[in-house]
């Protein structure tokens, strides 16, 4: 006898509500729940920003935890709710916003008859005088429990993974600073956990028997200090870094220093830095007994984060990811961790196939649509440095395939009439990508997105980017315009050919 697996749209299957699906952990959890066949409903303050990220038949509804009236319809019929909401980036009043959001959600969940809430909080000894960030995370769990709905609270230490705030901050510091001053608080012990293991615990909480609530402390296999994390990252990246211990740099002064070295993360990073003075290690091992999860150690977590980095870059359009993080714009383009991006877009009154045609033919004999002499000079310099230069050209003048060499690039991703992403094989003090994407525009026509991404290695990589940025700015700004102009011209030239059979038929 075989058991038929429930389909995610089966009304007999319990409905799971996911808040925070647009966030880092929530986005990974959404994917895992959908892959597991769960019946999922997501809330978002701006549902239109989430609908194109979910699979059928996942629901996306409006819901704002600071607006109690929006929660009643969102929680209707829900069996279990994931609460992954925080206001860390909101400013000075984030604790009050966290408290009010949890009160609203807990009250609405009780009225809707929700069986259980699963909440991801933060590790830290509640008997200590915790930092505002850690205290708010634990107070949120208490507030949810006060509603009367059973709460499964998972308290985690540092979350490591490609794109996570903690990993990107560590990555930025180690990549940028050959010499780091290390105050005593960086010797505080933590138990970093990989994002995949966090998601496994969250999914596993759905399967826990009974309707009671409890607190679980979760962490990776290794209890280490922050210096160990930075040293392991440097080791795996092949970077030599010197770390000098000093006794006088307080967490507050360190947070100001962080704002100078990693400005993108300064606002939320300062709050996290102030929490580092507290140990965040697992003291209660019940999670190992109740969950079928065997977390990775530090070396494996960093290895996965670095290995998945390229895949995450490939899966994300940089201009979208950066805008969602509200980065600062500066003379040097857009900063995202240690990576830098130059993103341009332009609208054309053409369908996607017509707009994409010049992109499909780029490089080789066609050239790069603007400043071809500069491209040839750059190719010659690359040859002198031992790189491929522009001599390889392209295999086919009309079409490309995944893995094709294209001048000094290689085709990393290709979707006809939509996407072309090139990975640089020229000699550079870092890694580089050039991506073109065409999308239908809401008012008709298409939008061409062009994004150049550079991942510098060390100080010389930073100097390289900022040193040639004025030239890049000039080339890339005119390049996307030239591609659009070529697309329009080609479409006009094709129009008489398409009309010819009609004229002959009419004659």
pLDDT band at 54 (very low <50, low <70, confident <90, very high): confident
Q: Of residues 397 and 331, which shows the higher confidence score?
A: 397
Rg (CA), the chain: 26
CA distance 104 to 90: 18
Is 234 within the bounds of a domain? no
d(CA 115, CA 121): 19
In a domain, 436, yes or no: yes
Contact at 8 Å (CB) between 473 and 337?
no
Does 34 reside within a domain?
no
d(CA 290, CA 331): 52
* pLDDT of res. 466: 84
For CA atoms 285, 290, 296, 301, the dihedral sign is negative
CB 101 within 8 A of CB 85: yes
Within-domain flag for 241: no
Rounded Cα gap, residues 315 and 189, in angstroms:
34
Distances (CA, A) of 468 to 252, 331, 366, 376: 35, 12, 25, 16
Could you tell me whether strands 193-194 and 159-160 are parallel, antiparallel, or unpaired per DSSP bridges?
Answer: parallel
pLDDT (average), residues 264-280: 59
Helix (H) or strand (E) holding 339: strand 339-348
Q: Does 57 fall in a domain? A: no
Domain count, the chain: 1
Weakest-pLDDT range from 25-34, 83-92, 120-129: 83-92
Contacts of 206 (CB under 8 A, 6+ apart): 16, 38, 80, 118
Contact 211, 150 (CB under 8 A): yes
pLDDT: which is higher, 208 or 275: 208
Is pLDDT of 91 > 70?
A: no
User: Is 171 part of a structural domain of the chain?
Assistant: no
Query: Which tens digits make up the pLDDT trace of 406-434?
Result: 888 888 889 899 999 998 888 888 888 99
Q: Is residue 322 part of a domain?
A: yes
Tens of pLDDT, residue by residue over 193-219, are 999 999 999 999 999 987 788 999 999
> Residue 361 belongs to what domain range?
316-497
Strands 80-83 and 15-18: parallel
Q: In sequence order, what are the residues at sequence separation of 6 or more whose Cβ sits closer than 8 angstroms to the Cβ of residue 229? A: 158, 160, 170, 190, 192, 298, 302
CATH code for the domain of 363: 3.30.530.20
* Residue 337 located in a structural domain: yes
Alpha-carbon distance of 124 to 367, in angstroms, equals: 58
Going by the DSSP 8-state scheme, the letter that residue 333 receives in this structure is E
């Amino acid at each position: 006898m075989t058991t038929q697996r429930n389909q995610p749209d089966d009304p007999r299957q319990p409905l799971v509500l996911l808040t925070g699906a647009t966030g880092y952990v929530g986005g990974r959890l959404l994917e895992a729940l959908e892959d597991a066949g769960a019946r999922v409903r997501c809330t978002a303050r701006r549902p239109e920003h989430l609908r194109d990220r979910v699979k059928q038949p996942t629901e996306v509804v409006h819901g704002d935890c600071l607006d109690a009236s929006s929660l009643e319809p969102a929680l209707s019929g829900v069996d279990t709710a994931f609460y992954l909401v925080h206001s860390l980036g909101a400013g000075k009043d984030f604790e009050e916003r966290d408290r009010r959001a949890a009160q609203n959600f807990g009250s609405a969940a009780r009225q809707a008859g929700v069986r259980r809430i699963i909440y991801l909080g933060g590790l830290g000894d509640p008997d200590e005088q915790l930092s505002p960030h850690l205290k708010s995370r634990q107070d949120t769990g208490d507030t949810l429990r006060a509603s009367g709905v059973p709460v499964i609270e998972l308290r985690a230490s540092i979350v490591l993974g490609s794109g996570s705030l903690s990993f990107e901050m560590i990555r930025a510091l180690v990549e940028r600073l050959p010499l780091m001053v290390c105050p005593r608080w960086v010797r505080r012990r933590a138990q970093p956990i990989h994002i995949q293991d966090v998601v496994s615990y969250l999914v596993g909480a759905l399967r826990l028997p009974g309707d009671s609530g409890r607190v679980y402390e979760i962490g990776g296999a290794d209890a280490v200090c922050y210096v160990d994390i930075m040293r392991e990252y440097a080791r795996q990246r092949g970077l030599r870094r010197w770390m000098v211990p000093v006794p006088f740099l307080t967490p507050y002064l360190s947070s100001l220093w962080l704002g100078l070295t990693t400005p993108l993360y300064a606002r939320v990073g300062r709050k996290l830095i102030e929490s580092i003075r507290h140990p965040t290690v697992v003291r209660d091992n019940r999670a190992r007994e109740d969950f079928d999860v065997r977390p990775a150690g530090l070396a494996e977590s960093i290895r996965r984060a670095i290995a998945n980095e390229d895949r995450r870059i490939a899966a994300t359009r940089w201009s979208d990811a950066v805008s969602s993080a509200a980065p600062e714009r500066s003379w040097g383009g857009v900063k995202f961790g240690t990576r830098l991006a130059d993103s341009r877009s332009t609208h054309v009154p053409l369908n996607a196939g017509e707009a994409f045609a010049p992109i499909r033919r780029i490089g080789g004999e066609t050239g790069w649509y603007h400043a071809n002499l500069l491209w040839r000079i750059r190719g010659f310099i690359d040859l002198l440095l031992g790189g491929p230069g522009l001599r390889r050209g392209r295999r086919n003048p009309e079409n490309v395939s995944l893995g094709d060499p294209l001048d000094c690039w290689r085709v990393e991703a290709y979707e006809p009439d939509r996407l072309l992403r090139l990975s640089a094989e020229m000699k550079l003090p870092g890694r580089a990508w050039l991506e073109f994407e065409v999308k239908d525009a809401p008012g008709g026509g298409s939008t061409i997105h062009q994004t150049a991404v550079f991942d510098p290695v060390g100080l010389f990589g930073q100097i390289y980017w900022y040193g040639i940025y004025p030239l890049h700015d000039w080339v890339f700004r005119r390049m996307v315009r030239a591609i659009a102009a070529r697309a329009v011209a080609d479409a006009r030239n094709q129009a008489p050919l398409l009309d010819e059979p009609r004229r002959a038929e009419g004659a």
